[in-house]
Structure 1
Amino acid sequence: MKAFVHENGNLKVKIMDEPIAKKDEVVVSIRYAGLNRRDLYIPNRRGDNPDPLILGSDGAGVIDAVGDGVGNFQIGDEVIINPSLRWYEKSDAPPEGFDILGMPDHGTFAEKIVISAEQVEKKPAYLSWDEASAIALPALTGYRALFTKGQVKAGDTVFIPGAGSGVATYVIMFAKNIGAKVIVTSRSEKKREQAIHIGADMAIDTKSDWVEELKNETIDLVIESVGEATFNRSLEVLKKGGRMVTFGATTEDTITFNLRSFFYGQYQLFGSTMGSKEELREMLKHMEKHQTHPVIDCTYTLDEAQKAFDYLEANKQFGKVILKIES
């Protein structure tokens, strides 16, 4: 089968052996797969490792084979991949043994994948194949950050620095689904307009004076994923006693902030990563209830995977970048 791999320090399309389902496993023929920023970081982490690793965390496809002991799925079922490995119940933090699909396990950027039957869910019928491939990692990440950790409720004002990421688009739509107000930032006028189009109430220039821009707003919750470049600015506009949830760092991940101001302000800071199978199922029910559709920026073929990586790394996207795997 054809796959996009990291091998000997290089990214390339390579022919790999087709996977075989063992006990409690299924083989899924991947139709579409979604890129995430995590995919960009893996080559640096692996260095010159000579073993080919199939990248990719998100995907959707059709079950091609089932192993012994699998009773809840059958050949022909349409499914999405849950990349949050071995995290089943909602908890304060991931359990021991938790990993994210795509390293060290082979991922979704291939014509087929073998995976535990515990790690697949029925594809939402109202979503197209490309949409279904773009939900698990980013939507689950946004759902846990917003609801489990952030405890957002109707009437809250949510502030999201950086409006263009896949997770950010889900946070915007999820927050609006339950009646919250959403304010975002972006350096790009086009991305600010796109954020308004999918539901944001206000979109300000990242380079502007946030305190001045938001002087008439009360920010209850910040969903922060940029890191050093925006962390203190986000804290500065958060109301006293407000909540900040951070799940990523696209800029420097080491932060210096004024501890005395922090504890006098009674702020609440939460870390968040991905989410559990329980939360994934909650998120899928939320999306179906509100008929939420992923925001797709562009689609490449598997042979064009390197171009897709370059596009994502340039941070040009608004929403998800997708690979079409099926021939």
Structure 2
Amino acid sequence: MKAVQFTEHGGTEVIEYGDFPDPEPERDEVLVDVKAGALNHLDVWTRRGLPGITLDMPHIPGSDGAGEVVDVGEDVTRFEPGDRVALSAGVSCGKCEFCRHGEHSMCVNYHIIGEHVRGVHSELAAVPEDNLLSVPEGVSWETAAAAPLVFQTAWRMLITRADVTSGEHVLVLGASGGVGHAAVQIADYAGATVYATGSSEAKLEHARELGADHVIDYEAEDFASQIRELTGGRGVDVVVDHIGKATWQDSLKSLAKGGRIVTCGATTGGQPETDINRIFWNQLSVIGSTMASLGEADDVMELVWDGTFEPAIREVLPMSETARAHEMLENREGFGKVVVKPDSEL
């Protein structure tokens, strides 16, 4: 088969698209004919060499993908050849105290397909049965590939961890990115007044179309000051911040008393200066979040499959141009997800 791969960490020049041995499914695995994959900033960090992660080389990236089942291991019961499936990339042990209570994303042995182990940006992929979602007929391969990671992540952040309720005010930073554009839709669905930041009028217009009530060009305006002005000095109840170092202090300034900041990542750095005085005096909550647990994944993906939520797709490229796809993420080009498809599918 052909696969996106790299044998060392580095810039986009390390990415290759070439021959790789066909995978053979284990007893609990499903062999998938991959029709489309999608990129996340996680792919960029993994390629660069995310600190603390050791990979078997060559590494195949990709934590989002969808395709058709071509074979199943002897212990597989949920799928059979011909089924349409999408990847849910978080792998949990199913046995620890967190898994026993349904908190699979807090598993002590939690890892992510495409980050810690080989991913699915290839013509074929062998995936554990528990990491596949059924995709209804009528849902495009591009949608099925682009939605799972970001919508699961944003759903857990807003609905489970931050517990957003109707009537609250929610600020979503980086609304043009994968998690950001999903968070705008989910906050709007929850009945919140949604504030979104972006770096161009085109990106802000997309955010409006997805449900943002107020938009802020963070390159032209100080978003914390704008939030204070838009809320009459009160601030917002929740800030969704997956950016980190560059925005952290202003995110705290944007919160009302008793507000919550929820984070799933730090694309500009994970060790920002922080205002502890503001946190305790305003009784703020700092909430960490990762990908969804199994039930959460089912809940949010049903809303994708029925069209309530829609992943924005900025570009569809052949897998042989995955280096270009990485550049689009690094340069913040466009709005939404970048999809890659095996060259044989184009």
Pair in the same fold by TM > 0.5: yes
Task: Name the structure 1 match of 2:178.
Answer: 166
CA contact (8 A) 1:124 1:132 kept: no
Task: Name the structure 2 match of 1:38.
Answer: 42
CA distance in 2, matches of 1:187, 1:256: 23
Matches within 5 A, 1:305-320: 305-320=322-337
**Larger CA deviation: 213-222 vs 115-124:** 213-222
Distance 1:125 1:157, change over 3 A: farther
Is 2:149 the partner of 1:143? no
SS of residue paired to 2:296: helix
Task: Name the structure 2 match of 1:252.
Answer: 269
CA offsets per residue over residues 52-90 of structure 1, 9 Å max, x none? 111111000000101101111100000001101126654
Provide the TM-score with structure 2 as the length reference.
0.89
User: Is there any run of 5+ residues in structure 1 with no aligned partner, and where?
Assistant: none
- Kindly report the root-mean-square deviation, in angstroms, between the aligned alpha carbons of the 2 structures: 2.0
Is 2:2 the partner of 1:2? yes
Task: Name the structure 2 match of 1:85.
Answer: 91
CA offsets per residue over residues 4-45 of structure 1, 9 Å max, x none? 001144210120111112211110010000101110111221
Amino acid across the alignment from 1:96: V
Task: Name the structure 1 match of 2:68.
Answer: 62
CA contact (8 A) 1:86 1:98 kept: yes
CA contact (8 A) 2:92 2:105 kept: no
**Larger CA deviation: 20-29 vs 215-224:** 215-224
CA distance in 2, matches of 1:288, 1:21: 27
Amino acid across the alignment from 2:73: G
Choose which of 202, 213, 223 in structure 2 pairs with 1:210: 223
TM-fit CA distance, 1:313:
1.3
Task: Name the structure 2 match of 1:296.
Answer: 313
User: Is there any run of 5+ residues in structure 2 with no aligned partner, and where?
Assistant: none
Distance 1:187 1:46, change over 3 A: closer
Distance 1:87 1:144, change over 3 A: farther
Matches within 5 A, 1:228-243: 228-243=245-260
Task: Name the structure 1 match of 2:121.
Answer: 109
CA contact (8 A) 1:127 1:293 kept: no
CA distance in 2, matches of 1:260, 1:166: 32
CA distance in 2, matches of 1:37, 1:3: 19
Task: Name the structure 2 match of 1:22.
Answer: 26
CA distance in 2, matches of 1:124, 1:282: 15
TM-fit CA distance, 1:105:
1.7
Provide the TM-score with structure 1 as the length reference.
0.94
SS of residue paired to 2:325: helix
SS of residue paired to 1:103: coil
TM-fit CA distance, 1:50:
8.0
TM-fit CA distance, 1:103:
3.1
CA distance in 1, matches of 2:333, 2:79: 38
Aligned residues: 327
CA contact (8 A) 1:300 1:308 kept: yes
Amino acid across the alignment from 2:205: E
